[in-house]
């Protein structure tokens, strides 16, 4: 059973008066040989990981909640990002939009496009007009895989889920999962539920990689 810790911390300038809560757990799951399986299907393991995690978030109505003007609001998309090597700078970041009504084929296609851009993009400081996406993501994302980045320019606040410290031992995959969220959402989130959904997706790699559709998620009942 994962162990959860919670801490309170101030977040970026846009939320000086808001209290943010950090939830953390170490996740240990049996990989069910998902890495060789996704490679057989010519899918990058990191793309499958992000897809499985995003799908798990989307299938739990409360995990689609964000804070806008101090109130919970359901969003219609998720954003994933992860670091890639770049010849111009040490790291750049691939950014992928998870679309709940599309399958993994669409997700990986978009991911490969984003990877290509990230690898070839010059440093953001030299081309600011074409690199805003990079500027928006460089601060929170340096050495980990993440989903739902916290970016707020218009009073819209998203939780930040970070997966890091990956280790593979035998047939087990271990990683640390952190969630930083506005305290207003604390009672709506059950991180254990997210871990279980994600684990189920990893275990169901065959079905997930052969299915291009999604069941329509349940509508959130929170107003």
| Rounded CA Rg of the chain | 17
Residue 86, pLDDT > 80, answer: no
Q: Which pLDDT band, with edges at 50, 70 and 90, does 124 fall under?
A: low
Instruction: Find the range with the poorest average confidence among 95-104, 133-142, 161-170.
Output: 133-142
Instruction: Note the pLDDT of residue 155.
Output: 57
Count the Cβ atoms, other than its own, within 10 Å of residue 139. 11
**Mean pLDDT (whole number) for 41-65:** 86
Residue 189, pLDDT > 90, answer: no
Instruction: Note the pLDDT of residue 125.
Output: 46
Count the Cβ atoms, other than its own, within 10 Å of residue 176. 16
% pLDDT > 70, the chain: 68
Residue 109, pLDDT > 90, answer: yes
Structure tokens at 124: 């953001």
For the four alpha carbons of 114, 138, 45 and 197, in that order, the dihedral sign comes to negative
Residue 217, pLDDT > 50, answer: no
CATH superfamily of the domain spanning 5-207: Chloramphenicol acetyltransferase-like domain (3.30.559.10)
Phi/psi at 113 (nearest 5 deg)?
-65, -45
Instruction: Note the pLDDT of residue 123.
Output: 58
Q: How far is CA 47 from the centre of its chain?
A: 11
CA torsion angle 85 58 148 21 (round to 10): -130
For the four alpha carbons of 186, 187, 193 and 198, in that order, the dihedral sign comes to negative
Residue whose structure tokens are 């991911």: 111
Biggest distance spanned by C-alpha atoms of the chain: 49
Q: Which residue has the higher pLDDT, 107 or 85?
A: 107
For the four alpha carbons of 172, 196, 40 and 54, in that order, the dihedral sign comes to negative
Q: Which pLDDT band, with edges at 50, 70 and 90, does 113 fall under?
A: very high
Report the alpha-carbon distance of residue 168 to residue 45 in Å, rounded.
Answer: 13
Instruction: Note the pLDDT of residue 136.
Output: 30
- Going by the DSSP 8-state scheme, the letter that residue 121 receives in this structure is P
Bridge partner residues of 98 (DSSP): 78
**Mean pLDDT (whole number) for 67-84:** 78
Instruction: Find the range with the poorest average confidence among 18-32, 55-69, 204-218.
Output: 204-218
Residue 112, pLDDT > 90, answer: yes
Residue 196, pLDDT > 50, answer: yes
Q: Which residue has the higher pLDDT, 7 or 202?
A: 202
% pLDDT > 90, the chain: 4
Q: Where are the domains of the chain?
A: 5-207
């Amino acid at each position: 059973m994962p162990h959860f810790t919670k801490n309170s911390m101030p977040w970026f300038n846009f939320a000086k008066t808001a209290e943010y809560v950090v939830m953390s757990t170490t996740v240990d799951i049996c990989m069910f040989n998902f890495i060789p399986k996704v490679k057989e299907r010519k899918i990058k393991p990191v793309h499958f990981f992000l897809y499985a995690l995003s799908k798990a978030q989307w299938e739990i109505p409360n995990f689609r909640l964000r804070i806008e003007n101090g109130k919970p609001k359901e969003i219609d998309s998720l954003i994933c990002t992860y670091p890639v090597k770049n010849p111009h700078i040490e790291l750049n970041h691939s950014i992928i939009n998870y679309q709940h009504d599309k399958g993994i084929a669409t997700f990986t296609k978009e991911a490969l496009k984003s990877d290509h851009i990230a690898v070839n993009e010059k440093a953001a400081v030299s081309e600011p007009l074409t690199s805003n996406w990079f500027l928006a993501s460089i601060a929170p994302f340096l050495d980990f895989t993440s989903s739902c980045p916290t970016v707020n320019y218009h009073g819209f606040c998203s939780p930040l889920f970070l997966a890091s410290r990956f280790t593979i031992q035998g047939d087990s995959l271990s990683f640390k999962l952190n969630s930083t969220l506005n305290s207003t959402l604390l009672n709506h989130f059950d991180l254990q539920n997210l871990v279980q959904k994600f684990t189920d997706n990893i275990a169901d790699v065959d079905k997930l990689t052969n299915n291009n559709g999604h069941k329509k998620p349940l509508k959130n009942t929170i107003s």
